[in-house]
Structures are given as structure tokens and as C-alpha cells.
Amino acid sequence: MNIFKLCEYPEKIIELLNDNFQGLDYELNFDGLDCKLSIYNASEDDIDGVVNLFSNVIYSDEDESLAKCAINLLYENNINVAVAESCTGGMLASMFIDVPGSSEVFYEGLVTYSNASKIDRLSVAIDTISDFGAVSRETSLEMAQGLLQDGVIIGISTTGIAGPQGGSEEKPVGTVYITVADIDAFTTKKYIFSGSRNEIRKYAAQKAIFQLVEFLIKNYKV
Amino acid sequence: MNIFKLCEYPEKIIELLNDNFQGLDYELNFDGLDCKLSIYNASEDDIDGVVNLFSNVIYSDEDESLAKCAINLLYENNINVAVAESCTGGMLASMFIDVPGSSEVFYEGLVTYSNASKIDRLSVAIDTISDFGAVSRETSLEMAQGLLQDGVIIGISTTGIAGPQGGSEEKPVGTVYITVADIDAFTTKKYIFSGSRNEIRKYAAQKAIFQLVEFLIKNYKV
């Protein structure tokens, strides 16, 4: 049996599997935001095909949660993180802290929901918010970089529009910017999620951890 | 029909109802951490009895969530809040922010999971942590009071031992201190919750909001 953990909605996984593999013997378990794909009696070609198909969303070939995977990578590399959350508002910190032992690598979280808090706590420039908006690539980047002090190695930020109000044509409800940054590098991505306010927040928190895992594998992996 | 929203575990409610009322026609709905008790065709005496029995845990006689009830009270009184979380680690902020419109009253959240973060962000005294421990009435109070700056009217803090490790005879796993404070007053309460790490964190976040509602009703209610 081969196991893969994926950071993706189960419906999309099922659709892709059924479209691309005929007769594949698999089982999909979905617990909260974690998808576990178990494949039985498959040929090496089929396994390679699955890995290729889902290469952008597979985060582990062991049975571990996304947050646990991230915590392990941080721990192995002796890296600590801090998070600055706007739309996810505590969910991201909570997903880390739900893992026992996370205190070894989780330094702190800032839920900077108001603009004043973004400016005071994270040194986001007033001009950045007025020029680009609180929900923007630029604000997201400054939020994450504003965390990099006092020995914090990696900063993660989320800012977006969870709805139901607050959307516009240019930035509809579900638009979220996520940045992962250290002193040398950063990745900022824009997502557009659909769902309820709470779902949009959950998806954003999950993608933030996945973006961290990608960043760690690219820049740090032991 | 009479509706009451209660901040308590459903098993306890069912047990108390069955022990104290014979033939009461009721229905209990449990959604996440919110308990909704609907009572049908009851006499005034029975309703009074229910209110007396649950006076410590009823937070509303309307069908609204605990977080929504708290947000409404804050909004009506033109009060903003900030939260400082240790063991709940983002869950408390998240429960507030899950309510649309919460940005009007939620200023910011600090997930001060490390002692360094408690000292740097909240001005908790090093001596307080070394004398009484990070999980103590004293640290909880200083955490909440440390939030009262920049126009924050009410500060809420949580600090506790969510487990599975870290408990002691004096402070077992599940011990949580919660403080609600403004510039003039505060309430600090000690709780001992049982359950998984995640359950203990959820119960603590819920009780923190309930403690806020009590504080608002006592000190502010419009």
C-alpha cells in the first residue's frame, strides 16, 4: 500500500483520479483539512503517475498531518516561526499549536486584524496600505517581514477577504495573499478560494502551512 | 417555545434536566461549542426553574452563538477588545473573527506562546513567570493588563496546560487561567478541563468568551 497526504479538496482529488486512472484501487480519507490517499496493489507506473499528477499538492508520503509535517521540518532544521494573520485570524496559529511539542518552534502569532495593529505591531507602512490596500501582495509581504526580529527565522502572513461583505470586482470575496519569508527570500502567492467565511479562512490557513512546507523544502531541507 | 443558549457541555445539561424536571418537553442542539435548549409547552414555574438551574451558564435567550452575543454586547457599548493567548493559541481570536463584522470591535490578538513573547509583547514581568509560572493567576492577569494600550478597552488572556505533557500534581493537564480586564476591574478564574489537547483548548476559548459576556453584563451593559 502507498500512502500520500495531499493539501487539496477531496472532490478535486477524486475527479482527477477517476479521469486519469481506470481501475485504480484507492481509498480517500478526509479529516478536517487533511486528505489521505491510500493506493492498493498499484503498478510502479500508476504510482509514478499519481505522484506526477499531484506533485503540486502532495506534502508527505507518510501518514502525518500537514501541521505535523511542517513542525517536524522546522524542528529538524532548528528553525522557529512566527505568524501574522489578518483574515485567518488565529486559525493558522491554532493549527500549529494543536500539534503537541509545537512550542519548540512556534515563537508567537499576531492577529493583526485592524490596520492600526498591522502598522504598530508589524511596521507595515501606512503608504503601503493606502496605495495597495490591506489585502494586497505588498501588505502581505511587509506583514511577514515585520515578524523577522528577536530571533524569528521565518515569518508567515495572511491577508484576505473572507466575506460575506468586503469584496470588489478587482478583489472578490475569497481573495487571499499569503507570504512566507526569511531574511533572504520570500514567496507571496495570491489565492481565490470559494466557500463560506469560515471555509475561506480554513483553506487559507491550510495553504499557508503548505506554502511554508514548500519554502522549507526549497530553501532548507535537511 | 422558549429558547436558551448555554455555555456548557451537553451531557451535563441533559443530566441536570432529567434529574430536576419530570416530563419536560425539550430539545437540545449542539453545534460545535454552542448548546441550544428549546423548551416546549412548559409552565412558567418550569421555565423559572430552568433559568435558576442554569443561571451560571445561560448567555442568551435568543438563538445566537456565544461569539455573536459577545460581539453584539461589545458593539452596543462601543468597546473594543484584544486577546492574548497561550494555550488556546489563536482559537479565541478565531472565534471572534468568525463572526462577520467583528472587525468593528476586535482590535488585535497576540498568540504569546513562548515566555519571551509574553515578556516582550505584553510586558509580563520576568519575576512573575519565575515566581508563579507561566500558567498562573498572576501571569494571566499581567497578560490581560498588558493588552490595555493604544485604545484597547478590554483585554482577555488565556494560559494553561493543554497536554498531553506538561502537567504536575499542583497543575494537572487541563488547568487553565482566564482573565478579563479593563482599566478599572478584572476577573481571573481557574478552570480544570478534561479531554484531548484540542478539546481543552476549545473549552478554554469558549469559557473565555463566556467570562467576557459576564464581565460586560456586570460592568457595562447598555
- Claim to verify: residue A149 and residue A189 sit in the same structural domain: yes
Q: Which one of B60, B79, B108 terminates a domain? A: B60
User: A222 falls in which pLDDT band (50, 70, 90)?
Assistant: low
Q: What pLDDT is stored for residue B191 in this prediction? A: 96
| Alpha-helical segments (H) within chain B | 10-20, 44-53, 66-76, 91-97, 115-122, 126-132, 137-145, 197-219
Whichever domain contains A26, its CATH number is 3.30.70
Alpha carbon distances (Å) from A182 to A146, A188, A213: 10, 12, 13
Do A119 and A194 fall into the same domain?
Answer: yes
Q: Say which CATH number the domain at A107 has.
A: 3.90.950.20
Q: What is the DSSP letter of B164?
A: S
Q: What is the pLDDT of residues A160-209, one digit of tens each?
A: 999 898 899 999 999 999 999 999 999 999 999 999 999 999 999 999 99
B12 phi and psi angles, rounded to 5 deg = -65, -40
Q: Is the domain of A185 the same as that of A86?
A: yes
pLDDT means per 10 residues in chain B (222 residues)?
90 90 90 86 93 92 93 95 96 94 92 92 97 97 94 96 91 97 97 92 94 93 68
Nearest-CA distance A49 → chain B (Å): 37
pLDDT band at A10 (very low <50, low <70, confident <90, very high): confident
Q: Are residues A51 and A126 in the same domain?
A: no
> Cell 454586547 appears where?
B73
Q: At which of B60, B76, B99 does a domain end?
A: B60
Q: ipTM for the complex?
A: 0.85
| pLDDT tens, residue by residue, A65-114 | 999 999 999 999 999 999 999 999 999 999 999 998 898 999 999 999 88
Instruction: Show the domain range for A148.
Output: 66-219
Examine the domain organization and report whether B108 and B203 are in the same domain.
yes
| Predicted local confidence at residue A146, as pLDDT | 97
Chain B residues within 8 A (CB-CB) of chain A?
83, 85, 87-98, 100-103, 106-114, 116-117, 120-121, 150, 163-165, 197-198, 201
Q: Are residues A153 and A127 in the same domain?
A: yes
Question: What is the reported pLDDT for A22?
Answer: 87
Query: CA-CA distance, B85 to B199, in Å (whole number)?
Result: 16
Residues A127-162 as b or e (16 or more Cβ within 10 Å = b):
ebbeeebbbbbbbbbbbbbbbbeeebbbbbbbbbbb
Instruction: Place A128 in a pLDDT band, splitting at 50, 70 and 90.
Output: very high
Interface test with A, best of B88, B111, B119 (most A CBs within 10 A): B111
Name the grid cell of B40: 416546549
Query: Are residue B141 and residue B54 in the same domain, yes or no?
Result: no
| More confident position, A136 or A7 | A136
- To the nearest whole Å, the CA of B37 is away from the closest chain A CA by 24
**Residue B103: per-residue pLDDT:** 87
Return the residue of A nearest to B199 by Cα: A98
Of B74, A150, A146, A169, the closest CA to residue A159 belongs to A146
Chain A residues at the B interface, defined by Cβ less than 8 Å, are: 83, 85, 87-98, 100-103, 106-114, 116-117, 120-121, 150, 163-165, 197-198, 201
Q: Indicate yes or no: CB of B100 within 8 angstroms of CB of A198.
A: no
CB pairs under 8 A between A and B: 122
Q: What are phi and psi of B115, to 5 degrees?
A: -60, -40
Whether A123 and A209 map to the same domain: the answer is: yes
The CA distance from A190 to A195, in Å, is 16
Closest CA to B97 of A180, A125, A200, A147: A200
Same domain, B90 and B158: yes
Last residue of a domain, one of A16, A36, A60: A60
Work out the mean pLDDT of chain A and round it to a whole number. Answer: 93
Q: How many independent structural domains does chain B possess?
A: 2
What letter represents residue A45's amino acid? Answer: D
CB atoms within 10 A of CB A33: 20
Nearest Cβ partner of B108 from A101, A106, A117?
Answer: A117
Query: Alpha-carbon distance B113 to A116, whole Å?
Result: 23
Which pLDDT score is estimated for B222?
67
CA neighbor of B206 nearest in space, from B62, B72, B94: B94
- For chain B, give me the number of helices (H) and strands (E)? 8, 9
* Predicted pLDDT at B109: 96
Q: How confident is the model at residue A151 (pLDDT cuts 50, 70, 90)?
A: confident
The answer to whether A113 contacts B103, with C-beta atoms less than 8 Å apart, is: yes
> What pLDDT band is residue A53 in, cutting at 50, 70 and 90?
very high
pLDDT, position A113:
86
Gyration radius from chain B CA atoms: 18
Q: Do B97 and B15 share a structural domain?
A: no
B53/B105 same-domain check: no
Note whether B109 contacts A108, CB cutoff 8 Å: no
**Domain identity same for B86 and B175:** yes
Question: What per-residue confidence (pLDDT) applies to A129?
Answer: 97
Q: For CA atoms B210, B211, B214, B220, give the dihedral sign.
A: negative
In the predicted structure, residue A150 carries a pLDDT above the cut 90: no
